Amino acid sequence: MNIYINDLSKYYKNKKALDHITLHLSSGIYGLIGPNGAGKTTFLSILCGLIKNDSGTIEIDEVKFLSDDFYHVFGYVPQSPALYVDLTCNEFLEYICALKSIDKNQIDHTLKLVNLYDQKYIKIKKLSGGMKQRLSIAQAIINDPQILLLDEPTTGLDPIERLRLKNLLRNLSKNKIIIISTHIIQDMDHLAKSLIFFKNGQLLDFKSPQELILSL
Ligand code: ADP
Ligand code: ADP
């Protein structure tokens, strides 16, 4: 699986949010690193089709793009999880399955993957922040997408939940492209195979955090 991003740019009115991004991604975990306002959310939103780029192209191989299988290619975990807190975990995932035409049989397996099976019939408003984050990941992976995008998933998580999240993503990463945005470089230690550095909408040409720090 490969994603080829070529000369991608995006403006919000006159504000340039992405500036001629060219990038090749293959299977594995990528850390998308950059300060607030760097363009990370914009980049992920364009990749999964939530907003449109102004110029440039995105090509994905090994994926036959039929109009109705879009949901089965991408999983997206937004920065602020959109959960219906009065539903139980099971009701919420049933709703997601109905929305995306996914077999409800996937629910138990997915809840086990994100370690929430014991919470299946618990209302979402009773869950901790880390559990809500894992439920948000569950809705994104329930159809086993080949590309998984996560926008600042570690925000607000305690150290134990951060480790749980890392383990979960590591286990999921076989044959998938996973992109995780964060402004905390350390969150990508022993997790990401490569880091992508963004600043002011531009892709910085650094191979490692050390190189980045030395340049400051
Ligand atoms: P992030 O935490 O990823 O930087 P923001 O807090 O910047 O996200 O953005 C939150 C929401 O506000 C997003 O929906 C984004 O599109 C919108 N937004 C961000 N900056 C602006 C802006 N300058 N004008 C209008 N909307 C904005
Ligand atoms: P990040 O996720 O790295 O914080 P964003 O992609 O949210 O960065 O934002 C990139 C730039 O685009 C920022 O300067 C932000 O203020 C601006 N921006 C984001 N969304 C909007 C929007 N809906 N309208 C106007 N400006 C926006």
Tens digits of per-residue pLDDT, 176-197? 999 999 988 888 988 999 999 9
Residues with a CB atom less than 6 Å from ligand 1:
36-37, 41, 79
Which ligand minimizes its atom distance to the CA of 37?
Answer: 2
Atom 23 of ligand 2 has which residue's CA nearest to it? 12
Please name the residues in contact with 116: beta carbons below 8 A apart, sequence gap of 6 or more. 89, 131, 134, 135, 138
CA distances from 119 to 66, 91, 130, 135 (A): 35, 12, 13, 10
Task: Judge if ipTM > 0.85.
Answer: no
- Choose one of 9, 10, 11, 12 to mutate for the ligand 2 pocket test, by most ligand atoms within 8 angstroms of C-beta: 12
3-state secondary structure of 72: helix
Q: Which atom of ligand 1 is nearest to the CA of 45?
A: 16
Q: Which atom of ligand 2 is nearest to the CA of 79?
A: 2
Tens digits of per-residue pLDDT, 123-148? 999 999 889 999 999 999 998 999 99
Q: Give the dihedral of Cα atoms 206, 6, 178, 91; nearest 10 deg.
A: 140
**Cα–Cα distance for residue pair 152/183, rounded to 1 Å:** 8
pLDDT: is 164 or 11 the higher one? Answer: 11
Q: Give the dihedral of Cα atoms 151, 168, 185, 201; nearest 10 deg.
A: -30
What average pLDDT does range 12-32 have in this prediction? 95
Q: Which atom of ligand 2 is nearest to the CA of 34?
A: 3
By residue count, the chain amounts to 216
Please name the residues in contact with 17: beta carbons below 8 A apart, sequence gap of 6 or more. 10, 11, 39, 42, 201
Tens digits of per-residue pLDDT, 57-73? 998 886 655 444 566 78
Atom 14 of ligand 1 has which residue's CA nearest to it? 41
